[in-house]
Copies of this chain bind each other. A is one copy, B any other.
Amino acid sequence: MMNTPLTLRQLLERPVEYFPDKLIVSRTSQGQFHYRYRDFNQRVNQLAHGLRDMGIKPGDHVAVMAWNTFRHLELYFAIPLVGSIIHMVNFRLFPEQLTYILNHAEDVALFVEDSIASIVEPLISQLPTVDQYIVMGDEYTPEIPGVIDYETLLAGQPDAFPFPDLDENSACGLCYTSATTGNPKGVHYTHRALYLHSLTLCAADVLAMSERDVVMPVVPMFHANGWGLPYSATWVGATQVLPGPHPTPMDIVQLIQGEHVTVSAAVPTVWFAVEQLLAQDPSLNLRTLRTVPMGGSAVPRSFIQHMEHDWGIPITHAYGMTEATPLATYGYVKSAIAKMDESTRYDYRAKQGIPIPGMRIRVARRDGQEVHHDGQEMGEIWLQAPWVADEYYHDDRTSDTFVDGWFHTGDVAAIDPEGYLRLIDRTKDLIKSGGEWISSVELENALMGHPAVAEAAVIAVPHPYWIERPLACVVLKPDTTVKVTAEALLSFIAPHFAKFWLPDTIVFLPEIPKTSTGKFSKVRLREWYHRGDLGTPQPNSL
């Protein structure tokens, strides 16, 4: 058989040839911009010429700090197609983390969006490897010496670039994980990994990505390849909607309504906010959505059921991470389960699904043996696939995590007899109470099942006898008129847990602090606790 390499070039060539008139819609601070795939392709080629003129060489790391926009999508293709590596930077990291990753990657150039440039300016003196800065967007008063304007870089460039033949195993992308302790860790993506991951998302029993779809990644494009949506959507020639800078929940709702979005993806907190808008204005209609893959953290069963029942929005659990490009499992409903009663179906849909084709999963006990598939025994999730990392980029911590061909995720799960994965917790978020494990995630899901609760995060706090005990932080919905007490919430969840699982304290907060990727920041909550800002644990009152 031909040794045709699996590269991102094929993902661009097909839509340009067969779907040149399909649209890419990009929200900007001035309104909406849209163009066709044929225009997109022309600009990718012009950008490739611009990169060459800048002296960017194959194998160079090129940093990008941008919202989800058409220019970000152009960089997603042009940088890899010339043989360089796009470093998708999470610009919400702390300045010292940003400096760390830009230096660690030895980025030679940095593309930054106008609205984000102010984050970069103070760092410049600490970024010795970055030779060139390119600003995207009109709203920038140059403060960076020698800064290049993105549109000037493209202007007048030829429409066609002679893209080189590339080795499918060469790196084309780089993301850093938002590590909760220590410095972020880098993951190199290869052309081969992204080709296979993108194709697998198209499978009927995964996202079933189609040319008929209108795809809107709300998940940032710096977060594990935007969960792979932009590459997969481009390949099939789907209409793409990019929500641009600072999208509010109302922006998201309006884009879904206005563009008839069929597939969107975001972390649960975004959808919690969208749901509150829907509750306030029943005239809003998001029923064009055919699937909303949700990951980053577990979504309560009650929320999945509520969104589908009341708003016709089918949420599908997915599970993945930066090291897995990111997708590992998808909440496919087996044909046998689809025939079961509604309640049972939601039981399965509240789990994290089954491995996507090509992904091997082992849930391992401490001795490395697979746990029983009884839905109860807990173990660490290990992954193996052609789109799973086998190392952290130039990082001594590699050997702790990648062992004998398996990636040890640090996530704890159980597997039921049908093979569905149920995510229980991060290893480090599990609460070890008197020798027994308590899952913070399961307590959170139960608390968020209460109609008055908007958000709930459970952390371990030290205890003189039990070593650790759970403490729950709860945010009530703004429109809650009834007084909800800690006792009432504990009574609400008590039927579902052994008594020792119940939190000793429930603290009501105006908001749960979030990480740069929108997840609950348990690190911050623990800091607050140790500063005394969350009170001291009391025996629970039940």
> With a CB–CB cut-off of 8 A, which chain B residues contact A387?
1
> How many angstroms between the C-alpha atoms of A235 and B356 in the bound complex?
11
> With a CB–CB cut-off of 8 A, which chain B residues contact A199?
196, 199-200, 203, 357-358
Q: Which of A204-262 contact B (CB under 8 A)?
A: 204-205, 208-212, 235-236
Query: Nearest-CB distance from A437 to chain B (Å)?
Result: 26
> With a CB–CB cut-off of 8 A, which chain B residues contact A338?
212
Cβ A419 vs Cβ B18 within 8 A:
yes
> With a CB–CB cut-off of 8 A, which chain B residues contact A3?
169, 386, 390
Q: Is A192 an interface residue (CB 8 A)?
A: yes
Query: Nearest-CB distance from A198 to chain B (Å)?
Result: 9
Q: Which of A168-218 contact B (CB under 8 A)?
A: 169, 188-190, 192-193, 195-196, 199-200, 202-205, 208-212
Q: Is A385 an interface residue (CB 8 A)?
A: yes
> How many angstroms between the C-alpha atoms of A312 and B386 in the bound complex?
41
Query: Nearest-CB distance from A29 to chain B (Å)?
Result: 30
Q: Is A405 an interface residue (CB 8 A)?
A: yes
> How many angstroms between the C-alpha atoms of A386 and B191 in the bound complex?
14
Cβ A211 vs Cβ B332 within 8 A:
yes
> How many angstroms between the C-alpha atoms of A3 and B169 in the bound complex?
9
Stretch at the interface among A6-14, A117-125, A266-274, A533-541: A6-14
> How many angstroms between the C-alpha atoms of A418 and B18 in the bound complex?
7
> How many angstroms between the C-alpha atoms of A195 and B357 in the bound complex?
10
Query: Nearest-CB distance from A140 to chain B (Å)?
Result: 36
> How many angstroms between the C-alpha atoms of A4 and B386 in the bound complex?
5
> With a CB–CB cut-off of 8 A, which chain B residues contact A34?
none
Cβ B211 vs Cβ A335 within 8 A:
yes
User: With A10-B358, A193-B1, A355-B18 as given contacts, are A204 and B200 in contact (CB-CB < 8 Å)?
Assistant: no
> With a CB–CB cut-off of 8 A, which chain B residues contact A14?
355, 357
Q: Is A74 an interface residue (CB 8 A)?
A: no
Contact of A357 among B202, B335, B390 (CB under 8 A): B202
> With a CB–CB cut-off of 8 A, which chain B residues contact A104?
none
> With a CB–CB cut-off of 8 A, which chain B residues contact A354?
18
Chain copies in the assembled complex: 2
Q: Is A482 an interface residue (CB 8 A)?
A: no
Q: Is A498 an interface residue (CB 8 A)?
A: no
Q: Is A384 an interface residue (CB 8 A)?
A: yes
Q: Which of A1-29 contact B (CB under 8 A)?
A: 1-6, 10, 13-14, 17-19, 21
When C-beta atoms are compared, the residue in chain B nearest to A389 turns out to be B1
Cβ B236 vs Cβ A336 within 8 A:
no
> How many angstroms between the C-alpha atoms of A381 and B536 in the bound complex?
75
Contact of A209 among B10, B195, B204 (CB under 8 A): B204
> How many angstroms between the C-alpha atoms of A1 and B169 in the bound complex?
8
> With a CB–CB cut-off of 8 A, which chain B residues contact A13?
360
Most buried by B among A2, A236, A419: A2
Q: Is A456 an interface residue (CB 8 A)?
A: no
Cβ A205 vs Cβ B200 within 8 A:
no
Query: Nearest-CB distance from A163 to chain B (Å)?
Result: 14
Q: Is A530 an interface residue (CB 8 A)?
A: no
Most buried by B among A13, A14, A205, A405: A205
Q: Is A294 an interface residue (CB 8 A)?
A: no
> With a CB–CB cut-off of 8 A, which chain B residues contact A200?
199
Q: Is A334 an interface residue (CB 8 A)?
A: yes
Q: Give A330-374 as 1s and 0s: 1 = Cβ < 8 Å from B's Cβ atoms.
A: 001011101000000000000000110110100000000000000
Most buried by B among A18, A192, A209, A388: A18
> How many angstroms between the C-alpha atoms of A195 and B358 in the bound complex?
9
> How many angstroms between the C-alpha atoms of A335 and B235 in the bound complex?
15
Query: Nearest-CB distance from A205 to chain B (Å)?
Result: 5
> With a CB–CB cut-off of 8 A, which chain B residues contact A418?
18
User: With A18-B354, A360-B13, A419-B17 as given contacts, are A2 and B390 in contact (CB-CB < 8 Å)?
Assistant: yes
> How many angstroms between the C-alpha atoms of A193 and B6 in the bound complex?
12
In the A-B complex, the 7 residue pairs with the smallest Cβ-Cβ separation, listed nearest first, are A204-B208, A202-B203, A204-B210, A1-B193, A18-B419, A2-B390, A4-B386
Give me 18 other A-B pairs in contact (C-beta within 8 A), A1-B388, A3-B169, A4-B385 excluded: A1-B169, A1-B188, A1-B387, A2-B385, A2-B386, A2-B388, A3-B390, A18-B354, A18-B418, A195-B358, A196-B199, A199-B200, A202-B202, A203-B203, A204-B204, A205-B211, A212-B338, A235-B357
Please list 16 pairs of residues, one from A and one from B, whose beta carbons are closer than 8 Å in the complex, sorted by A's number: A1-B188, A1-B387, A1-B388, A3-B169, A4-B386, A5-B386, A6-B196, A14-B355, A17-B419, A18-B355, A199-B358, A202-B203, A202-B357, A203-B236, A212-B335, A235-B357
